[in-house]
Structure 1
Amino acid sequence: MTITEKLERLKAIFAEMEQALIAYSGGVDSTLVAKIAYDVLGDRALAVTAVSPSLLPEELEDAKIQAATIGIPHQIVQTNEMDNPNYTSNPVNRCYFCKSELHDTLKPLARELGYPYVVDGVNADDLHDYRPGIQAAKERGARSPLAEVGVSKMEVRQLSQELSLPWWDKPAQPCLSSRFPYGEEITVAKLQRVGRAEIYLRKLGLKNLRVRSEGDTARIELPPEQIKEFVLTTDLPQVVSAFQEFGFIYVTLDLEGYRSGKLNQVLPIAIANKG
């Protein structure tokens, strides 16, 4: 199926739905879904963003701006996954409890507002990664049009560019809880210090990055090709000072560089130990 055919199939899916509530994080995947849904359904499509301590404030602002640019109606709801010890203990299936909370919030909201479908931005590539949250969404009846049609992450960006969405190349930004090694307890204070650290680095002009947190140590991950320039041109003592103000004691730089899902490399061991 060509990418043009995939786009037409996505439009047909929404036409068949007639009304849809979009689980809208503001990331490139869910924003593409929101755009197509609005193009087909107009005001019969609703984008809903869930807010919790694991969402960067700047990501919420981006979501608002993007929804306004598209024109889709946009609502914000609060989720309370931080009240669930199954989530905050940070097990290997943490995302299952996060998405359970999300869809346990969105499903009754959709029913109340008269939307027969809750739709997310899961793409075809996500199905081949370790993503326990997908199961939680399926159990609650959510649909994933991008995955249903076989749209890959690369095609999400291609379609976004073809539809003139200015954020088509926006870096992936999973929730802040993904910055912690499995088994380390997640707290609001820890999420806030990681979020502040990443915002600080972005203000230095860095885009595609992560600040991983383990105990009192922050580990900065940058694209490998940017590491040398960062070391040579950045006021490193100032970075250390800023991070220590945020609550870290030690600040390190990952020499391997940024790699999406890096913390998942321990999963086979963690899952085996759990079993």
Structure 2
Amino acid sequence: MAGLIEGLPSGLRGDYAGLGADLTLAQDMAGYAPADHATWRSLYARQAALLPCHAAAAFREGLDRLPFAAGIPDFARCSALLRAATGWVLVAVPGLIPDAAFFGHLAARRFPVTRWIRRREELDYIVEPDVFHDAFGHVPLLTQPDFADFLQAYGAMGETAARIGALKPLARLYWHMVEFGLIREGRDPRLWRRHPLLRRRDAACDRGRCAAPAALRPAAGAAQRLPHRSVQPTYFGIGGYAELFATMPALPALLAEARDAAPIPPGAAAPGDQPL
């Protein structure tokens, strides 16, 4: 089992003992206590109240199609809905998994979702992704065909990135696009997805105090280091989802360039950055 999770940080909270060869395990819906579902509902209510002002329309539409309001969702039920819409399914994982395995699942239209949920005292912030982070934050956009197709193509890029030693830049770019990406709707930049770690006091989300995002440049995103334990200082944005596919042909060369370049510190501007 140690070889399957080589390279992951020590002390992760998930139960990695029962992993299969593909690094998945059973969700075990019966293992969730009533308090776990109550925590989900508290998180859902808080985030849902912020969606009209801050989340992209495609995210809100996708969320409306999923059985998320009542408590921790059953992955099998969600997978049936996603499979009919875009051919995706959800697979349960204990938490973080190595980049190569993660991108391999995306390439096969399987989205890994952590099965455990945070404690009540962690409603505002949690370092590791939990089931709410993964399901609420990512799954709604998988109902949208354009985004679903892009994410599969991005996952397929993992094989190329592994071959040229550029998995880290591919993961960095995923962070800046899929974890914290913005899209322009009208005059406003909105989150592609509603990141569950962001709060009203996050400078990137407060109306009137929005951090000035830069237009997406894959080379800059792939080189920018990730601020895992602080508020996100840099946001990259797009004008529409079609721009995502436009990044794909040049991505192998850009990943190789980022692999060999000095990483850009979190929040620092790169040459050529333009306001969104």
TM-score (norm 1): 0.26
Q: 1 or 2, which has the higher helix percentage?
A: 1
Higher-Rg member (1/2):
1
TM-score, reference length from structure 2: 0.26
